[in-house]
Structure 1
Amino acid sequence: MYFAFYCNTSSGQVSFKTSNGTYRVTSINASTQRFVIQIKFADNRVSNQFLPSSVTGLFTAEGNFSSEITDVEISWKPPMEPTCDSSTDCKDWPDSTCKVARDGKWRCLCSTKWDGLILNCTKGDIPPSVLGGNPGSLQKASRKKMALYLIVVLSLISVIAFACSIIFLYILRRKMAKSQENRNNDKRNRVLRTMDSERHVKDLIDSGEFKEEGETDIDLPFFDLESILVATDSFSDANKLGQGGYGPVHKGTFPGGQEMAIKRLSSASRQGLQEFKNELVLIAKLQHRNLVRLRGYCIKGDEKILLYEYMPNKSLDLFIFDQKLSKLLDWEMRFNIILGIARGLLYLHQDSRLQIIHRDLKTSNILLDQEMNPKISDFGLAKIVGGKETEANTSRVAGTGYMSPEYALDGVFSIKSDVFSFGVVLLEIISGKKNMGFYRSEQAMSLMGYVWRLWTENKVLDLMDQSVQETCHANQFMKCVNVGLLCIEEDPSDRPTMSNVVTMLDSETAIVSAPKQPAFVLRRGQSSTASSSRPETFIEITTSVEEAY
C-alpha cells in the first residue's frame, strides 16, 4: 500500500493512487495510522477500492462548497514483513532471515524487531510474528531466558564451589599430613642430635690435650693470645679479679670497650686441665639468661684461656655476707635472685640439649650482672647424664657446706644433689648467714639445723636477715623457708625436682608440703655428763675456696 502514494517534488503535493484513479491527499497522521483524501461522493466503491485500508469516515471538506467533493479518512494496518522464497530475497532487510511466519507464509523475519512505519528491522525485542503472534509470548520468553540463565549460573557456581571445597580439603589434609611428618622428623632428629651431642661432648672431654685453633671442633670464637695480653695489660695485678684452684681470673678490655672475664689455666693445676675441658665443651652448648655466657677461648702452647661475659657486681656471697653490701639487696631483689637460680638449674637438668648436673652450686658461683640478675657459673665439676640416667658415681672430692650427704660421703651424685645445694643457697640468701661455720651459743649446729629448730618452734621469722625486715613479705618468706627445707631433706627421693621448686616459688596457688627433718651435720659435743671437761670434737666437711669464674 505504501507504494500507492505519490509525491510531486515540484509542488510538494502527495497523491494516493488506486486502480480506479489518483486522489489528492490532504493530511497524513502517522501516529494514528490514518490519512485523508478527496474523492467524488458519487463513487460507491469507496470502501472496496482502498483495501487493505479501511474507510473510517466521510465528510465534506472545509471550504469546499461543491457537493460532489468529499473528504475520506482512511486507516491502514502496518504491513508485515516482506514475503520471500529464499534468503536472497531478504538481502534488502538486514538482520532478517527467510522463515515461515505466523500466517504460514515465508517472510523475511527480523532477528530483532520489524518496524511497519520504516519498513525495516530495528533494534528491540523479538517481534510477535516470530513468536506466533501471542502478546504474552515475549514476556514469557524473557522470563524463561532469565530462569535458564540463573539455573546455568547457579549450577556453575555450585560446581565451582564443590570443586574448590574438594581441592581445599585435599590440600589441607596434605598439609596436615606433611606437618605431622615434619613434627615426627623434627622430634626424631632432636633425639638423634641430643644423643650425638652427648656422645660428642663426652668424647671431647675424655680425649687428650686440646689442639690449637681450627682443630678443637668447638663452636666458639677463638681469641689470639696477643689480643688477650693487650686486653689484660699482660695479666697485670691491677686487672686481677681473683684466684682459684683452676688459676687466676683477670678483667680484659677489648677494642670497642667490650669487657670480659678471662680465666687462665695454671700450668701446675692437674685438676684445672680437666675443668678447662669441661667448661669449654659444656658451656659452649648452653644458652640461658641465668647461666654465665662463655664468649671464647684461646689455646696457644701451654696457655689455655677461657673468656666469659664480665659481671660487674661479681659474686652473690660478697653481698649477702657483708653487713654493708647486704643492705643493697632488698627482699624483692633477693627473691628474684632465688627464682633466677632455680630457673637456671631447671634448664641444666631438664630443658638443655645436654642434661647436666652442676655439682658445685654455691653462693660464690652465682654471679650478678649490672641489673643484679643471677647467673650460674663454674662448670668445671659439671657432669652430663644422658637419657634416663639420673645419678652417677665419682671419686670423693673435698666437700663444701653445700654438698648433699650422699655426694659428700659416698660420691653418689644426681640432679637431687644440685637440689640440696640450691636449698642451702636459698637459706643463706634469706638469712644472710653462712651454712659453714654457723654457731649459736645456745645450741651449736649448722644453719640447716638452726632453721629446722625455728621451723619446729614456729619462730621462722627469726631467721630473716635484719636488712630486709622492712621490705620482706612474711608469707613469701615463709614459703621460701618451707621450700628450702624440702630441698635439704636427707633422702634424695624426698627432695623436689627443680621444676617443682620453680612452680612452688613462682605460683601463689601452688601447694607446698610440710618438710621432714633435714640432713644437717651436728657437732658431737661431750657426753651428757655435765662434769666432763673434755674438749668438744667435731664432724666437719672441708671446703675449698675458689672464685666463681
Structure 2
Amino acid sequence: MQRVLKEKTEHKGPHERSQDILTSEGLIVNKRDYSGESTTDELELPLFDFGTITVATDNFCDENKLGQGGFGIVYKGLLVEGQEIAVKRLSKNSGQGVEEFKNEVRLIARLQHRNLVRLLGCCVEMEEKMLIYEYMENKSLDSILFNKEKRSLLGWRRRFNIICGIARGLLYLHQDSRFRIIHRDLKASNVLLDREMNPKISDFGMARIFGGDQTEANTMRVVGTYGYMAPEYAMDGIFSVKSDVFSFGVLVLEIVTGKKNRGFYHANQEHNLLGHAWRLWGVGKGLELVDPSVGDSYPPNEVMRCIQVGLLCVQERAEDRPTMSTVVLMLSSENALLPQPTHPGFCLGRHLVETDSSTSKQDESCTVNRVTVTMLDAR
C-alpha cells in the first residue's frame, strides 16, 4: 500500500502528496460531517518524512524524551533550519491512540489561537504516526505548579495570567473557532507554557466537535482524568461546554493553591481540594488557600475573585456554571458583581468521609467505567 501510494505521489508537489497520504489515513473529512456543506475540507498541514524527524530527535534518543502518556512518547527535536519542535510519537501498541491521532489532526490543524498549542505538521509513514508541535520551553504547567523546587517561579502575576490565558483559549474553542470544540480532558498536564510562561492548551485527542445548535452529547465511553471530570459526565456520560467549564474551575483552584485536586485530602477530614476550598470560602478564609510559595505580594481582591470564579465553575449542576464568555468577563473586571457559588460537585478517586455531624447530609455514589463520583448536599 505504501509503495503504491509513493508511486502515485512521487510526481506531485509537497502539498498534494500531503493531501494524498492524509486522505489515505482517513484524515481528510467532508465538511458535511460538521456544517452541512458538501465540499472537501482539505488540511493545510505539512507532512514531515520519517528521516527528517529521526535526525531532528537524534534517532529518538532518551536524552530528548520530554514525557510519556497513553498516546506514546514525546521527544524534543531540532530541525536543520534551527527550529525546535516537540514530536508526539504514537506507540505501535496503542490501539485507541490511532483514533486519537486522527482526531487531533482533524481538529487542531483547523485551530489558530495564541492560547492553543500550534501543530506544525505530522508524519504518516509505514507504521509510524507522529504529530509535530511547536516546542514549549517550560513544558507543562503541572511540571512546575506541583514541583516544590519550581513552583516559586510562578508568582501571583504569572498564575493570574495563566488562568486568564486558559480561559481565553477555552472561549475560542467553545465560541469563536470555526466549530464548537469540547476539549474533554483539560488538566494541568495538558496546559503547556512557552518561554514567557504563556499558557497553551494542548492534547485534542479526546476533543469533540459540536455542530449547529448542539449544546450537549452523550457517550458510553467516559474518558478524562480523575479530579477534573464533571459529575454529569463521569456518572451519565453527558458532556458539553459546561463539563469543560468544570475542568477549568478545578484548574483555577489548583493554580491558586499549588495543590492537586486528585489526591488532596485535608487533614483528618479527607476532603478533596474542591471540598477544602468550599469550606474555607464559606467561613471567609479563602485567602488561606493561596500557595505559600507565592509569598505576600498578591492583590487579595484579585485572588478572591479567582477563587470565587473557580467555585462557580465547579458547581454540581451544569446549568449553574457560567459560560466561558462570562468567566473571561468576570476575570477581567475588577468591579463585576459575582454571584455566590453553590456547592461543588465532588469528584473523587476514593471514598469521601464527612466528619462534621452538625448538618444532615446525603451521600450518593455511582461508579461508571471505573470512575467513582461522590456528591454531598451543601451545608
Change in CA separation of 1:542 and 1:312 when aligned onto 2, cut-off 3 Å: farther
Partner of 2:128: 303
Query: Residue 446 in 1 paired to residue 272 in 2?
Result: yes
- Mark the CA change 1:225 to 1:507 in structure 2 (over 3 Å): closer, same or farther: same
1:317-346 alpha-carbon deviations (Å, 9 max, x no partner) = 111111121111110000000000000000
In structure 2, what is the equivalent of residue 377 of structure 1?
A: 202
Partners in 2 of 1:221 and 1:413 — Cα distance? 32
Correspondence for 1:493 among 307, 319, 323: 319
What amino acid sits opposite 1:296 in the alignment?
G
Identity %: 57
Q: 1:199 aligns with which of 33, 37, 42?
A: 33
What is the CA-CA distance between 1:528 and the residue it aligns to? 9.7
Q: Matches of 2:170 and 2:236 in 1, distance apart?
A: 23
Secondary structure of the 1:403 match is coil
The number of residue pairs the alignment matches comes to 331
Runs of at least 4 residues of structure 1 off by over 6 A? 200-203, 526-529, 537-540
3-state secondary structure, aligned to 2:306: helix
User: CA 1:439–1:202 in 2, change beyond 3 Å: closer, same or farther?
Assistant: farther
| Matching residue within 57, 69, 81 for 1:244 | 69
Q: Any stretches of 5+ residues in structure 1 without a counterpart?
A: 1-194, 204-214, 530-536, 544-549
Match 1:323 to one of 123, 135, 148: 148
Aligned residue among 268, 277, 282 for 2:107: 282
Deviation at 1:440, TM superposition (A): 1.7
Whole-Å separation in 2 of the counterparts to 1:507 and 1:309 = 32
**Counterpart in the other structure of 1:86:** none
**In structure 2, distance between residues paired with 1:327 and 1:294:** 30
Q: Which moved more, 1:468-477 or 1:444-453?
A: 468-477
> Secondary structure at the residue paired with 1:251?
strand
Asked whether the equivalents of residues 396 and 407 of structure 1 are also in contact (C-alpha less than 8 Å), the reply is: no
* 2:169 maps to which of 344, 358, 361: 344
- Does the CA-based 8 Å contact 1:524-1:538 persist in structure 2? no
What is the Cα deviation at residue 239 of structure 1? 1.0
1:9-48 matched pairs, under 5 angstroms = none
Instruction: From 357, 369, 374, give the equivalent of 2:182.
Output: 357
Say which of 333, 337, 362 aligns to 1:511. 337
How far the C-alpha of 1:218 sits from its partner, in A, is: 2.5
Instruction: Find the aligned partners of 2:157 and 2:372 in 1 and give their Cα distance.
Output: 33
8 Å contact kept, 2:271–2:352: no
Instruction: Give CA deviations for 1:253-300 in whole Å, capped at 9, x if unaligned.
Output: 001210100011111111100110011110000000000000001111
For residues 402-457 of structure 1, what are the alpha-carbon distances to aligned partners after superposition, in whole Å with 9 as ceiling and x for unaligned? 00001111111000000000000000000011101111223211100000100111
Q: Is the 8 A contact 2:30 2:41 kept in 1?
A: no
Q: Distance in 2 between matches of 1:369 and 1:528?
A: 44
Gaps spanning 5+ residues in structure 2: where? 1-28, 358-364, 374-379
Q: Higher RCO, 1 or 2 (CA under 8 Å, sep at least 6)?
A: 2
Calculate the TM-score normalised by the size of structure 1.
0.57
Instruction: Please give the alpha-carbon distance, in whole angstroms, between the structure 1 residues aligned to 2:302 and 2:262.
Output: 25
Alpha carbons 1:401, 1:541 under 8 Å: kept = no
- State the SS of the aligned residue for 1:295: strand
Equivalent residues of 1:327, 1:467 under 8 A apart: yes
> Residues of 2 paired with 1:538 and 1:410: CA distance?
9
Alignment correspondent of 2:215: 390
Taking structure 2 as the reference length, the TM-score comes to 0.82
Q: Distance in 1 between matches of 2:356 and 2:346?
A: 21
Matched position secondary structure for 2:247: helix
Instruction: Give the 3 Å change call, closer, same or farther, for CA 198–357 of structure 1 in structure 2.
Output: farther
The C-alpha deviation readout for 1:182-220, integer Å capped at 9, x for no partner, is xxxxxxxxxxxxx974626999xxxxxxxxxxx994211
Does structure 2 retain, via aligned residues, the 8 Å contact 1:357–1:418? yes
Aligned AA (1:386): G
Q: Aligned partner of 1:501: which letter? A: V
